[in-house]
């Protein structure tokens, strides 16, 4: 049992697992999807620490520049012509074939990505099927995390992404207001994922807040989804160490902040910015349990 302090304002939300068990279930690769600044590096570290699991860190976005350039651009099984031409390069094709071969060569293999959420149809054409884990975080905390690093704002939420949002959004304001831009992009991505892309796909929904404040149940659900597994001492020890007053830092930068600080990031957002995020993202936040109905 991992004992964590009671945290005001952090309420667990029930999420649903829908998995079709087949003879080849364990051989189906998994994909951890997440928006930027949502804790995906941390969760991927937990997955990688399990002796029976292997997970790559952003094999698309970190090795193929195209995916950073066209974040939140939606693809079907066949991407737009200019993107298809780029992907047809022999070196890119060789890389994708090697990646696909690695994912399918052994059971319980997968990867995490922050720039692939709108390309699931294309991904399934490349590696089909895929078990999906969607990691979410309160958009108010996401916005605080983005603003904390001003030099990376245009990397995580570049103005160019606004071209892929519905025409009704106030793009002029979003170009000059990073809070509004962050909220628009977060809402657009999660609205599409939860209401369209993931409704008919086997998926496990994980809130970062639940992983930190209630790791026992969350880890049990996670490893069961990833292959009928149980958490190992490595994951239990890591989570206990995070909450320990005498904790020691691990080699991973994603684990160096105290869970209490991560869970209370929302408090760093000024009231008027908080209202902006809640107004833009309110429907999805309510769906995920971040706002009262």
What residue spans define the domains of the chain? 25-288
Q: Indicate the pLDDT class of residue 13, thresholds 50, 70 and 90.
A: very low
Q: Name the pTM for this structure.
A: 0.88
Strands, DSSP E only, in the chain? 30-34, 54-57, 109-113, 131-136, 203-207
From residue 85, give the alpha-carbon distance in Å to each of 66, 67, 94, 128, 219: 11, 14, 14, 22, 41
Two tokens, residue 37: 């600044």
Whether 8 has a pLDDT exceeding 50, the answer reads no
Strand-pairing partners, residue 133, are: 32, 204
Better-predicted residue by pLDDT, 21 or 53: 53
227: left (phi over 0), alpha (psi -120 to 50) or beta: left
Give the pLDDT mean for 239-265.
70
Strand-pairing partners, residue 30, are: 110, 131
pLDDT digits (tens, 9 = 90+) for 60-109: 999 999 998 899 999 999 999 999 999 999 999 999 999 999 999 999 99
Whether 218 has a pLDDT exceeding 80, the answer reads yes
pLDDT digits (tens, 9 = 90+) for 221-232: 999 999 889 999
Residue 290: predicted pLDDT: 96
Question: Sheet of 203-207: strands edge to edge?
Answer: 54-57, 109-113, 30-34, 131-136, 203-207
Whether 274 has a pLDDT exceeding 80, the answer reads yes
CB environment 61-82: b (16+ within 10 A), e (fewer): beebebbeebbbbbbeeebeee
Residue 6: predicted pLDDT: 41
Rounded CA gap, 225 and 147, in Å?
34
Better-predicted residue by pLDDT, 12 or 96: 96
Rounded CA gap, 106 and 255, in Å?
28
Residue 5: predicted pLDDT: 38
Neighbours of 180 (CB within 10 A): 21
Give the pLDDT mean for 251-274.
80
Whether 1 has a pLDDT exceeding 80, the answer reads no
From residue 100, give the alpha-carbon distance in Å to each of 76, 78, 130, 160, 218: 18, 17, 11, 30, 29
Q: What topology is assigned to 25-288 in CATH?
A: Rossmann fold (3.40.50)
Better-predicted residue by pLDDT, 168 or 16: 168
pLDDT digits (tens, 9 = 90+) for 26-56: 578 999 999 999 999 999 999 999 999 999 9
Q: Indicate the pLDDT class of residue 286, thresholds 50, 70 and 90.
A: very high
Whether 244 has a pLDDT exceeding 90, the answer reads no
Q: What is the mean pLDDT of the chain?
A: 86
Q: Helices 178-192 and 271-288: crossing angle, nearest 10°?
A: 0
pLDDT digits (tens, 9 = 90+) for 98-138: 999 999 999 999 999 999 999 999 999 999 889 999 999 99
Whether 9 has a pLDDT exceeding 80, the answer reads no
Rounded CA gap, 99 and 129, in Å?
15
């Amino acid at each position: 049992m991992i004992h964590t302090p009671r945290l005001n304002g952090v309420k667990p939300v029930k999420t649903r697992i829908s998995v079709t068990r087949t003879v080849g279930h364990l051989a189906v690769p998994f994909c951890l999807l997440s928006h930027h600044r949502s804790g995906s590096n941390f969760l991927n570290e937990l997955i990688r620490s399990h002796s029976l699991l292997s997970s790559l860190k952003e094999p698309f976005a970190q090795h193929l520049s195209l995916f950073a350039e066209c974040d939140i651009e939606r693809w079907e099984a066949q991407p737009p012509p200019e993107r298809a031409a780029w992907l047809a390069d022999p070196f890119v094709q060789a890389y994708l074939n090697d990646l696909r071969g690695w994912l399918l060569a052994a059971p319980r293999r997968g990867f995490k990505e922050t720039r692939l959420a709108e390309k699931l149809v294309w991904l399934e054409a490349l590696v089909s099927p895929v078990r999906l884990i969607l990691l979410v975080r309160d958009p108010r905390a996401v916005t605080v995390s983005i603003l904390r690093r001003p030099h990376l704002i245009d990397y995580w939420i570049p103005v160019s992404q606004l071209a892929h949002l519905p025409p009704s959004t106030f793009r002029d304001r979003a170009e000059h207001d990073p809070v509004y831009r962050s909220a628009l992009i977060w809402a657009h991505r999660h609205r599409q994922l939860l209401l369209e892309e993931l409704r008919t796909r086997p998926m496990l929904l994980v809130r970062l807040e639940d992983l930190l404040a209630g790791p026992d149940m969350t880890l049990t659900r996670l490893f069961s989804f990833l292959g009928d597994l149980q958490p190992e001492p490595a994951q239990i020890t890591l989570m206990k160490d995070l909450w320990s007053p005498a904790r020691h830092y691990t080699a991973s930068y994603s684990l160096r902040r105290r869970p209490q600080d991560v869970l209370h990031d929302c408090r760093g957002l000024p009231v008027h910015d908080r209202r902006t995020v809640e107004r833009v993202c309110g429907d999805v936040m309510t769906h995920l349990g971040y706002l009262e109905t």
